[in-house]
Each structure stands twice: as structure tokens, then as C-alpha cells.
């Protein structure tokens, strides 16, 4: 990875938080993700299991974490399991962590090689009453592939059928949703890189530029600033393509008179930024484009004002929907008759704003966190209302990242230009 290693105290504190939620005399086991083949002998780029990374800071494949806080042998209360460095493999695939390097990254003192794990783990399992195993319980997950966590759970239940099993995911969802100040510092670094990139783009975009060229500028600036790369597939959607929420073809020319919607963010230190800005290709909003843009910015600011501890996401979205209704009436998108005829499940504003306003952000772009419980201090959310007008072949979305604290919101993108006049001035300059 290109980014500098972040301090191990983040992961030490994260493990303490998890251990404090474990039942007495229990053991928790976390696995790395699989290496996934593409075709032939090639592999997809490896991406570490987010929960394992949150607990250890280790991004290497074939890694495990064992937590057994009540182990009579204090040495084995925290165990990091790594693949043993192999000289021949390293000639092909590169260096693997040595024990001292893994300790420096994770703060874990006891490092065990994977090829001797069985002889160590079985006596530990026999001492424990409860086994915590991990699963991917992100509500947005749609992948039915039997990944390592699920295969490992089946193996453990077959091998130790009389133990009590619990889900680590229930604990991880609550813990990962609350970011420590140290975690937010890392997110801010990802955001700062994203800001530099956005400012670069405002000088680069002009009629005749292609979407993929804008994407190339993003990737260049990210890598030059030691980002690991994009936190997700960058969306560069000019003209009518901006109405497609997850447009990633990025293969069309940006033309004068169009807007270009750019949804991108850097990854740094394992954490993500998530920015959306919509700018005029020729550097100047038309009167109608500015009217729609300012309406979206109004919704953005209104939504930010609502995000406070105690607010529920359901109520939050309902209130933003009410404000969107008023706003869309003002700019002529819907009529009073449309509002009169709407139903709770099919509100009139939904024709022009057909996605949610916010999601949790952290190690994953769509990070873990509840939708049903009240917002709590420490959470980080995106705020990203949009207006998508088929009749006018126009899409506008504006997105910042907000840290909720007991003393009010902190807009982590506060330094990034957002007003139409600011954008025009920077594009002119």
C-alpha cells in the first residue's frame, strides 16, 4: 500500500472495545478475505476483510486474529496468525510481514505462523465456552458467494458442535459505527487528498474533455499523494448520464453546456473519503442549472442541520423529503396537485430524488451502522441529496462527509468549494 502506516494505538483501542463486549470465557476468531482468481493464474487485487483490518491494521492475505481475554496463559490472550515468510514465494509475490513488523503495525505481541496454528488453537477452544465467529452483516450486502468467514463457521461448528456460538457482527456493527478521534484523523487525511484532487479537476475540465480523462486525473493525484487509490469506482457522469446513480462507464465526451457530476474519494490508511460535486463543463452555470444546483445545495445544508445525536435515520429522511417537496415546488419540478395525489410509499418528490440522503462512512464506503437506532456522537455520515431531471437531461448531486459530535456536526469537507460562484471562479482561474 502507498499510504504510510497509521499508528497501532487505533487498533489496540479497537480490540479493547471489542473485548469489553465479549462474554466471559469466550474466544473470538477473525479471518482475512480470500484471494479471488480472475482467469488463468491471475488474481483480483486483494482487499482485506474490513473487520480484521479494524482490529489489527494488517492488510496481508492468509491472516487470522484470535482474542481469548480469559486465557490462563496471558501470552495467548491476543494472537495474530500470519503466513510464514517463504523465500521462493517472496521472489514472485513480494515480501510478507516478519513478526516484529506485524507487532509494530498491530500492537499484538504474540505472532504465530499459520502452519502451526492447529496445535495451538485446539487447546484454546477446549478451554472456552463460547466462540465468536464473524460474518458480513452489512445491510447492503448482496453477494451470495460462500466467502471464507462462512466456510470457516461451518468447519468450526462441525469440529466443535457442543460449544456455544455467537456472532461477532452484532458487536462490530455497533463499534465500527462510532469513530474515535484518531480514526477521524485518518479519514480527514483521505478527505484532504480528495480536496487536492477536486481542485486539480476544476482547472482541468473544459469542453472536449472525456470522462475517462477526468478519472485519470483523479487516479494520478491520489497516487501522487500516497493514497491507496480510489475508495470506490469513480463516477464521472456528464450530461444526462448523471441521472444514473452508479454510472461507471466513464467513456463519453463532456460537452459545453452540460454539467458533469463527479462522485469520487480517496482511500488512505484503510479509511475512505466520499465526495460528490457537480460542475459546468464550460465553467459557467446556466440560469436554470444554477437554480437546480442551489436547490440541491439548500437540501444539502438542511440535511446537515438535522444530523444530531438522538435523530433516527428514518425520521431524518422523512424530514429531508418534506423539505425536498417544498423545494421542488419552488423550482417547478412538481405541482401542488402532485403533492395532493402522493401516497406515503410513493411521494411526489421521489420522481426527482430517488435515493437515500446519507450512509455511514469509514473503512468501507458504505460502512457498518444501524438504520433503526438513533444517531450517536462519533458516527460519520455522508450527506448527498441529488436532483435528477429526465425532462432536462440533468443530474445534480452534492456530497460532504459529516462527523457527529456531542458539540455539533463537523463538516470534514468544510474547505472544499461548494457554492456555484466559488466553482465558477476556480474554473475561470
Within 10 angstroms of residue 101's Cβ, the number of other Cβ atoms is 16
Handedness of CA 158, 160, 162, 165 (dihedral sign): negative
Cβ(276)–Cβ(399) below 8 Å: yes
> 188-209 pLDDT, tens per residue?
999 999 999 999 999 999 999 9
Q: Which of 147, 175, 203 is the last residue of a domain?
A: 175
Question: Does one domain contain both 225 and 343?
Answer: yes
Alpha-carbon distances of 125 from 25, 73, 313, rounded to whole Å: 10, 13, 40
Q: What is the pLDDT of residue 4?
A: 66
Q: Does 2 reside within a domain?
A: no
Based on the fold, state whether residues 161 and 194 are members of the same structural domain: no
Contact 324, 349 (CB under 8 A): yes
State residue 391's pLDDT score: 96
CA dist 164 → 70, 133, 171, 346 (Å): 16, 11, 16, 45
- Cα angle 131, 137, 139 (rounded to 5 degrees) comes to 160
- Specify whether 149 is located in the same domain as 194: no
Q: Is residue 1 in some structural domain?
A: no
Residue 352 lies in a domain: yes
How much helix, strand and coil, in percent to the nearest 5, is found in the chain?
Answer: 40, 20, 40
Pairing of strands 266-268, 271-272: antiparallel
Q: Are 380 and 354 in contact (CB under 8 A)?
A: no
Residue numbers of the domain that contains 76: 9-175
Whether residues 93 and 185 share a domain: the answer is no
In a domain, 124, yes or no: yes
Distance between CA 234 and CA 101 in Å, rounded?
33
Same domain, 304 and 221: yes
Q: Please report whether residue 256 resides in a domain.
A: yes
| CA-based end-to-end distance of the chain | 35
What total number of domains does the chain contain? 2
291 touches 331 (CB < 8 A): yes
Q: Are residues 143 and 46 both part of a single domain?
A: yes
Coil, helix or strand for 163? coil
The dihedral sign for the CA sequence 95, 99, 103, 104: negative
Specify whether 335 is located in the same domain as 274: yes
Q: For 48, left (φ over 0), alpha (ψ -120 to 50), or beta?
A: beta
Contact 399, 263 (CB under 8 A): yes
User: What's the pTM?
Assistant: 0.95
Task: Note the pLDDT of residue 243.
Answer: 97
Half-sphere exposure of residue 307: CA atoms within 13 angstroms, side-chain side: 27
Question: Average pLDDT for consecutive 10-residue bins of the chain (429 residues)?
Answer: 76 98 98 93 92 97 97 97 89 90 97 95 97 89 81 96 97 96 97 98 98 98 96 97 96 98 97 98 98 98 96 95 98 97 95 96 94 93 98 97 94 96 94
Determine the Cα–Cα distance for residues 379 and 179; give it in Å rounded to an integer.
Answer: 6
Note the pLDDT of residue 139. Answer: 78
- Full DSSP string of 364-419: SSS----SSSPP-TT-EEEE--EEEEGGGTEEEE-BEEEEEETTEEEETTTTS--S
Domain edge (last residue) among 153, 175, 197: 175
At 85, which CATH number? 3.40.350.10
Query: 294-347, pLDDT tens digit by residue?
Result: 999 999 999 999 999 999 999 999 999 999 999 999 999 999 999 999 999 999
Whether residues 105 and 235 fall in one domain: no
CB 232 within 8 A of CB 265: yes
pLDDT digits (tens, 9 = 90+) for 285-301: 999 999 999 999 999 99
Q: What is the mean pLDDT of the chain?
A: 95
Q: Contact 304/409 with Cβ under 8 angstroms?
A: yes
Determine the pLDDT at residue 3: 58
Interval 145-156: pLDDT, tens: 788 999 999 999
> Both 244 and 221 in a single domain?
yes
CATH number, domain of 385, equals: 3.90.230.10
On whether the CB atoms of residues 28 and 168 are closer than 8 A, the answer is yes
Work out the burial of residue 156: count CB atoms within 10 Å of its CB; fewer than 13 is exposed, 13-18 middle, 19 or more buried. middle
Q: What is the pLDDT of residues 19-36, one digit of tens each?
A: 999 999 999 999 999 999
Structural domain includes residue 80: yes
Select from 108, 140, 175 the last residue of a domain: 175
What pLDDT digit, counting tens, does each position of 238-248 carry? 999 999 999 99
Which residue(s) pair with 279 in the sheet? 260
In a domain, 188, yes or no: yes
Question: Please, are residues 106 and 138 in contact by the beta-carbon 8 Å criterion?
Answer: no
**Is residue 194 domain-shared with residue 161, that is, in the same domain?**
no
Q: Is residue 4 part of a domain?
A: no
Kindly give the interhelix angle for 181-204 and 211-224, rounded to the nearest 10 degrees. 130
Amino acid at each position: 500500500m502507498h499510504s504510510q502506516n497509521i499508528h497501532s494505538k487505533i487498533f489496540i483501542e479497537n480490540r479493547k472495545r471489542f473485548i469489553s463486549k465479549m462474554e466471559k470465557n469466550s474466544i473470538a476468531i477473525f479471518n482475512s478475505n480470500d484471494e479471488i482468481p480472475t482467469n488463468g493464474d491471475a488474481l483480483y487485487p486483494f482487499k482485506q476483510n474490513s473487520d480484521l483490518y479494524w482490529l489489527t491494521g494488517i492488510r496481508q492475505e492468509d491472516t487470522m486474529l484470535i482474542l481469548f481475554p480469559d486465557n490462563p496463559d496471558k501470552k495467548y490472550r491476543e494472537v495474530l496468525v500470519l503466513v510464514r515468510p517463504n523465500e521462493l514465494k517472496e521472489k514472485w509475490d513480494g515480501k510478507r510481514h516478519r513478526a516484529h513488523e506485524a507487532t509494530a503495525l498491530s500492537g499484538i505481541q504474540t505472532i504465530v505462523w499459520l502452519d502451526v496454528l492447529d496445535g495451538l488453537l485446539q487447546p484454546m477452544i477446549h478451554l472456552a465456552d463460547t466462540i465468536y465467529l464473524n460474518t458480513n452483516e452489512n445491510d447492503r450486502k448482496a453477494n451470495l458467494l460462500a466467502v471464507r468467514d462462512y466456510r470457516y463457521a461451518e468447519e468450526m461448528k462441525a469440529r466443535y458442535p457442543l460449544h456455544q456460538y455467537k456472532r461477532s457482527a452484532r458487536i462490530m456493527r455497533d463499534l465500527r459505527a462510532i469513530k474515535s478521534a484518531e480514526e477521524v484523523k485518518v479519514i480527514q487525511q483521505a478527505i484532504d487528498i480528495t480536496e487536492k484532487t477536486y481542485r486539480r479537476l476544476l482547472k482541468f475540465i473544459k469542453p472536449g474533455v472525456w470522462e475517462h480523462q477526468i478519472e485519470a486525473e483523479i487516479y494520478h493525484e491520489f497516487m501522487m499523494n500516497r493514497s491507496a487509490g480510489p475508495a470506490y469506482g469513480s463516477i464521472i457522469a456528464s450530461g444526462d448520464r448523471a441521472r444514473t446513480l452508479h454510472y461507471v462507464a466513464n467513456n463519453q465526451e463532456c460537452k459545453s453546456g452540460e454539467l458533469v457530476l463527479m462522485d469520487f474519494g480517496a482511500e488512505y490508511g484503510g479509511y475512505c473519503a466520499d465526495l460528490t460535486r457537480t460542475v459546468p463543463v464550460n465553467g459557467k452555470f446556466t440560469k436554470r442549472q444554477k437554480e437546480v444546483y442551489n436547490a440541491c445545495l439548500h437540501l444539502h445544508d438542511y440535511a446537515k442541520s438535522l444530523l444530531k445525536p438522538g435523530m433516527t435515520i428514518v425520521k431524518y429522511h422523512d424530514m429531508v423529503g418534506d423539505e425536498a417537496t417544498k423545494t421542488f415546488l419552488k423550482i417547478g419540478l412538481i405541482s401542488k396537485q402532485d403533492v395532493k395525489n402522493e401516497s406515503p410509499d410513493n411521494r411526489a418528490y421521489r420522481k426527482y430524488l430517488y435515493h437515500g440522503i446519507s450512509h455511514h462512512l469509514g473503512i468501507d464506503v458504505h460502512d457498518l451502522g444501524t438504520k433503526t437506532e438513533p444517531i450517536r456522537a462519533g458516527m460519520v455520515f455522508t450527506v448527498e441529496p441529488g436532483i435528477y431531471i429526465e425532462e432536462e437531461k440533468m443530474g445534480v448531486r452534492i456530497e460532504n462527509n459529516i462527523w457527529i459530535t456531542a458539540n455539533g456536526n463537523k463538516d470534514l469537507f468544510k474547505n472544499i468549494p461548494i457554492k456555484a460562484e466559488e466553482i465558477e471562479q476556480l474554473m475561470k482561474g
